[in-house]
Amino acid sequence: MRVAHVHRIRGIGGSERHLLTLLPALAERGIEPVLIGLDDPASNPVDFYDALTVPAVRLPSPRDLDPALLLRLLRELRAEVVHTHLVHADVYGGVAARLRGAKLVSTKHNDDPFRIGSFRYVERALAAASARIVTITDSLRRFTIDQVGIPARKVETIHYGMDDLPAPWGANPVDGVPAGARVLLAISRLVPQKGVDVAIRALPLLPDDTVLVVVSSTQQERGALLALARELGIERRVFLLGRVPDVAAWLRRAVVLVHPARWEGFGLGVLEAMLAGLPVVASEVSSLPELVVDGETGYLVRPDDPAALAAAILRALDQPALGTAGRERALREFSVARMADRTAALYATL
């Protein structure tokens, strides 16, 4: 069975890392996957394509609305199943699958509030033409059914899977983080959703030897976050590093993973931290309680509450055994084999 996965490619974020893991695992199970990348020319996704180990077709996607893109996609689409990821692929891939007579599957990767605005009517129309809708958590399944309005019979949860920490694509540059500091690590984009500002506000409530290091694929809020750190007098304890070649090196260097998100589709950085044996302190929102077991593998706190975040971090600093339990849970519940087997089984039902 040939399955075309369609995704707008801007770099390596959570959904892209998901594809880098899922597609080769599907190939091992007799599926013939191909990636059709709708490339945003404003970014340089060479790292993604260098890491991809299945065939790929790259189509330039410079605009949100582009009829020519649909025509190019129709020319390239040769598959029995079209599997789309995120909004651009949902729209273009969904229409192309319909015109080609292919079965349509769509994975929902987040519970972004825009999905319950006017776009929900577009989602409902695409869902009517879809054979199945995949959500990456049960929380996201409930959101998709209850708030977006997709029929429950079409929606199935398949969690992300991961067995190993991300492989490095180079050596990390020299940084200014003090050698003896206890590193609180965040792996997230610098956008309001991820709550990095909450972590910065929590830092003055923590011992002076703790620092916050954020590795991120995008840096929209960098200026505002640095200004906040200066305002609080902790600019020497906040390090916004951007993309780094070796995320695993920072996971090994850290003592706690902090993820104070305001909403979250999955939290792949949380799963990476669990695999690295790190305690996790995260917001009790969306999907995160499906990953982090409060008091067992880390702590869950109210969103937008720096004091609660700081108190939970203090507890986690004294309980490294939380990380051991987190690693065991990650390997047991979120393996690549489990994810790939369930995805292949879904295709078989089509």
Q: What does the pLDDT average to over 184-211?
A: 96
Residue 12 main-chain phi, psi, to 5 deg = -115, 95
Of the pLDDT bands very low, low, confident and very high (cuts 50, 70, 90), residue 216 is: confident
| 182-333 has the same fold as 2-161+335-349 | yes
pLDDT of residue 92: 96
DSSP state for residue 294 in the 8-state scheme: B
Q: What does the pLDDT average to over 237-242?
A: 94
Residue bearing tokens 């998100």: 261
Q: In CATH terms, is domain 182-333 a member of 3.40.50.2000?
A: yes
Over the stretch 257-295, which tens digit does the pLDDT of each residue have? 999 999 998 888 999 999 999 999 999 999 999 999 999
Got the DSSP string for 192-244? GGG-HHHHHHHGGGS-TTEEEEEE-S--TTHHHHHHHHHHTT-GGGEEEEES-
Most confident of the following: 112-116, 173-177, 336-340: 336-340
DSSP state for residue 147 in the 8-state scheme: I
User: Quick one: 209 exposed, middle or buried, by C-beta within 10 A (0-12, 13-18, 19+)?
Assistant: exposed
Spatial distance between the Cα atoms of 147 and 149, rounded to a whole number of angstroms:
5
Nearest to 292 by CA among 319, 272, 274, 310: 274
Q: Identify whether the C-beta of residue 188 lies closer than 8 Å to the C-beta of residue 213.
A: no
Q: Residue 63 CB: number of other CB atoms within 10 A?
A: 11
Structure tokens at 301: 């706190």
pLDDT of residue 307: 98
Spatial distance between the Cα atoms of 331 and 337, rounded to a whole number of angstroms:
10
pLDDT of residue 311: 98
Q: Is the dihedral of CA 146, 267, 57, 53 positive or negative?
A: negative
Taking each helix axis as running N to C, give the angle between helix 268-275 and helix 14-28, from 0 to 180 degrees, rounded to the nearest 10: 70
Of the pLDDT bands very low, low, confident and very high (cuts 50, 70, 90), residue 46 is: confident
Spatial distance between the Cα atoms of 37 and 59, rounded to a whole number of angstroms:
6
Residue 33, sorted as left (phi over 0), alpha (psi -120 to 50) or beta, turns out to be beta
Is the pLDDT at 218 greater than 80? The verdict is: no
Is the pLDDT at 209 greater than 90? The verdict is: yes
The one-letter amino acid code at 283 reads: S
Enumerate the domain spans of the chain.
2-161+335-349, 182-333
Structure tokens at 107: 């994975």
Got the DSSP string for 262-314? SS-S--HHHHHHHHTT--EEEES-TTHHHH--BTTTEEEE-TT-HHHHHHHHH
Fold (topology level) of 2-161+335-349: Rossmann fold (3.40.50)
pTM here is 0.84
Q: Is the dihedral of CA 282, 285, 288, 289 positive or negative?
A: positive
